[in-house]
Structure 1
């Protein structure tokens, strides 16, 4: 066991599962340990995630407890994954960073479906707006968003331009990021780019009430090659993440379609953006 072991949430979940198996069979730690050949102390530490649960030990417990094979196999896979994550951390292996890669995917994609909750979508931001929103908080992220914006702008006038469909709540228009001058310039830019045939901007009005994916911004990217599935990009100030499971990306596509139906149409949205700009 590592000297300064700190259990991950996955390892804690595995421990709870092991304890659940034992409790379902009404076995004490001593009784269960005797059956599997572990000390009660070791079993207790595994269940409480005070030490890692080795995949072979999980397999042994599943067998001794007569847990259905698919169930114990699933927990063994979890233990194997937890072990791999821990080894990467010990070896200081830097994993693939989606936040750093995002601009590359923007450049390769054929369409972006973007839903934001607090800010204008990254590819439609002016640099002044981006800097005002993020520079003091996260200069690295600011630079990455600038790269994504540049990737989109390079594609805007291509023969096959990158199609951008953006949806966001009206609150984004009313949040005066960077002061009135910066915000007004951003809104005028939104009005300008929304007239491009490859760009659609829709605003969810304040009176709409609750709406799909509320509080959960995402970007759904599609690609020209059949071998490249849709990808969802999620980001917080801590990290970026790709979601590639087809079932999950389809859920995002469904949410986005619902948002588009609920939002004002592009013409009405343009009028609302113009109204917000005139108030600054």
Structure 2
């Protein structure tokens, strides 16, 4: 394993694919390892992206699991690219879509720092709110947003709930997305989720003027494993993009800290949301 290995999002997607193949065949780590000639520890580390998956090992697993040839070849090509590009985050030329993968990272993360500009953060959106935003123009993206929301909701009652820190401008509260009734329900939902001890909702007041990261929404994800660096996720209506270079994610973390310093406190933010609820017609 390379010294001080840090798995990229692509390498982690490869690990999940390997784990999925084994799960489909209902094999334990020990059984699968014996079949392919790996130790169960090595196989576990590959699946969890604690060590890189060598292309030859991916090929061996595909053969032993009797995975259709085009499927294992596609994953092997990803592993080859990851091997060549390790340390870089450029995913051009590989059929890997961060927008499609993002819900998986949300499920794996321990902390989510979200700065949204125009909308309630995706993880807190009601289904109707998401549908109103998308206006049925992009059913694939709507389904992906639903997966992100469900990934967070599934963690609420677990042993390791996902901590979410959200910051957004006050204007988000006054955009009657989907009409007054839906918007009121969305704001009430926002108040409800903010009561969870793992959730922080902070609002940037109109009086804040210019603020850090203005015009540049982002999500920063943190993970429990030392081998998994923070990942920043940026998205437009065209595509999603991962930023994984530590220097850049550190700048995102600094920006988010600055945003929290400018935003209202949790209590004041809740009061502002409650005011918006009463104002919605």
Q: Which residue of 1 aligns with 2:199?
A: 199
Q: Distance in 2 between matches of 1:202 and 1:238?
A: 28
Residue equivalent to 2:158: 158
Q: Over alpha carbons, which structure has the higher Rg?
A: 1
CA deviation map 1:11-46 (0-9, x unaligned): xxxxxxxxxxxxxxxxxxxxxxxxxxxxxxxxxxxx
Q: Distance in 1 between matches of 2:135 and 2:102?
A: 19
CA–CA distance in structure 2, aligned partners of residues 142 and 201 of structure 1 = 23
Q: Which residue of 2 aligns with 1:264?
A: 264
Between the aligned partners of 2:135 and 2:145, the Cα distance in structure 1 is 11
Q: What number of residue pairs does the alignment pair up?
A: 191
**Deviation, structure 1 residue 235:** 0.3
Which runs of structure 1 show a deviation greater than 4 angstroms over 4 or more consecutive aligned residues? none
1:219 matched residue in structure 2: 219
1:174 matched to 2:174: yes
Q: Tell me which residue corresponds to 2:66.
A: none
Unaligned runs of 5+ in 1: 1-80, 89-93
CA distance in 1, matches of 2:210, 2:230: 27
1:106 correspondence with 2:84? no
Give CA-to-partner distance per residue, 1:23-81, whole Å, 9 cap, x none. xxxxxxxxxxxxxxxxxxxxxxxxxxxxxxxxxxxxxxxxxxxxxxxxxxxxxxxxxx9
Tell me, in whole angstroms, the C-alpha distance in 1 between the residues paired with 2:157 and 2:201.
18
1:251 and 1:137 map into 2 onto residues whose CA distance is 34
Task: Using the TM superposition, give the Cα deviation of residue 170 of structure 1 relative to its aligned residue in structure 2, in angstroms.
Answer: 0.3
Please state whether the residue corresponding to 2:154 is helix, strand or coil: helix
User: Gaps (5+ residues) in structure 2?
Assistant: 1-87
| Partner of residue 253, structure 2 | 253
Q: Counterpart of 2:236?
A: 236
Q: For residues 250 and 95 of structure 1, what CA distance do their matches in structure 2 show?
A: 27
Q: Which residues of 2 match residues 45-194 of structure 1 at below 5 A?
A: 88=93, 95-194=95-194
Post-superposition shift, 1:249?
0.2
TM-score by length of 2: 0.66
Is the 8 Å Cα contact of residues 135 and 142 (structure 1) preserved in structure 2?
A: no
- For 1:183 and 1:108, how far apart are their aligned partners in 2? 30
Select the structure with the greater relative contact order (CA < 8 A; seq sep ≥ 6). Answer: 2
